Amino acid sequence: MRTIEGSHGTHPFRAAGSAGGRFPLEVYVAVPDGTSLPPGVHWYDPMQHALVQAGPAPRGVAPAVIVTGVPWRTGWRYRERGWRHVYWDAGTMLAQLLALADSAGVPAALYTRFPDAAVATLTGADRVHEAPVAVVSLGDGPPALDPAGPAAAGALDAAPVEFPLVTAAQRAGERDRLGEPWDRGAPADVPVHASATVDAVVAARGSQRRMDDTRGLPQELLRTSMSVALRGIGVPHWVAVHDVEDLAAGIYRWPDLEAPTRPGALRDELHRVCLRQFLARDAAFVTIAAADVGRLDDREYREAQLAAGLAEGRLHLAAYALGASASGMTFIDSEVPELLGEPLDALLFTCVGVPAYRSTAGGPPGAPSRVRMVTPRR
């Protein structure tokens, strides 16, 4: 949707955010016979904005969007931590996909429990350098995931290196049958409504690189964005409030905004916990998804990371729809229990604040807009 000319050439950006801008995801559409769409398993080529047939039509009922992850694409930079990025990024992307399906009136159901080996066969993924992450059925009925034959193995980036811990963690959560789709949750009752279309908000969204720390945000914006972001999501969230109308600074356990669980000015602490990144200091509020991951099984761990990414993607859209700005944010794991005052593991942070500049809107698929790089404050 946007491109930047950098020292290494043209850097393309997608519609959804990606931890470190590594974009480790691939997307396929599995279309069975008997619908109005061309049957087959089609790989989405984002540069050409085209669907390329990769395999024969799957057996089953509803067309399915399949998201896979390529660990090396983020692991070369972030090593094993990149495995979490795959799930966070799947969440930010699916936040947009589900919102667009809803706005287009297409029933869409998210599945994160599926037969991994069958889905890998459908897409030509080898479950080491590329592995299935999530499935969304479009239309009524279960997703068509039964392969009628092998798919072409796509060419991955040159000589990817395997991260054995990533392979082991991914394999540990594998299942052999389809589970229930996610409960999408009831529509949120919110104090503020946005008028822009989903397409316009997606085009406007970018990760804000600089926020104005002299200005805060209305409490209604916080309530609205948290309510829509957490619709149907069970992962607990906290909010570190720096500057929100009628709320004292401190840590709150959403949805309780009556009193902070840890009062006090936290800008400097957030700055430190987020690896001295100024966005976490300059935002009006920072949301924190956290859980006791030791209580989760291997599949639930994947789901918790994806749920945190889904919430981050929706917070991001809500912020732009309501005139604010946002960015995903990484953190130092070991600092989070002290920050929250509870012995929990952080999943993901999102900074929401007043933009210090306006980003150029992204172009439609296939016609990206060229933008200049804005770097975060250092």
Ligand X SMILES: Cc1cc2nc3c(=O)[nH]c(=O)nc-3n(C[C@H](O)[C@H](O)[C@H](O)COP(=O)(O)O)c2cc1C
20 near ligand X, rule: CB under 6 A: yes
Tell me if 21 contacts ligand X by CB under 6 A.
yes
* Per-position x/- string for 59-98, each x denoting binding to ligand X as judged by CB under 6 A, each - no binding: -----------------------------xx--x------
- 69 in Cβ contact with 133 (< 8 Å): yes
Instruction: Give the nearest residue (CB) to ligand X.
Output: 328
What is the total count of residues that contact ligand X (CB under 6 A)?
21
Nearer to ligand X, 207 or 227 (CB): 207
Backbone angles phi, psi at 261, to 5 degrees: -75, -20
Interface residue with ligand X among 330, 347, 353, 371 (CB under 6 A) is 330
Closest CB to ligand X among 17 and 124?
17
Shortest spacing between CB 294 and ligand X, in angstroms: 22
Q: How far is the CB of 348 from ligand X (least distance, A)?
A: 6
d(CA 218, CA 45): 40
What mask, x for binding ligand X by CB under 6 A, covers residues 174 to 213? --------------------------------xx------
Compare residues 123 and 330 and give the one whose CB is closer to ligand X. Answer: 330
Residues 6+ apart with CB under 8 A from 197: 103
Our CB check for ligand X shows the closer of 244 and 329 to be: 329
Contacts of 16 (CB under 8 A, 6+ apart): 89, 92, 93, 95, 96, 205, 313
Query: Using CA atoms, how far apart are residues 220 and 65, in angstroms rounded to an integer?
Result: 34
Determine the Cα–Cα distance for residues 260 and 264; give it in Å rounded to an integer. Answer: 9
Q: Which of 82, 320, 327, 355 binds ligand X (CB under 6 A)?
A: 327
What are the helix (H) ranges across the chain? 71-78, 82-104, 116-123, 164-172, 198-204, 219-229, 267-273, 278-282, 298-321, 336-340
Applying CB under 6 A, the residues found at the interface with ligand X are 13, 17-21, 88-89, 92, 206-207, 277, 279, 309, 312, 327-330, 348, 376
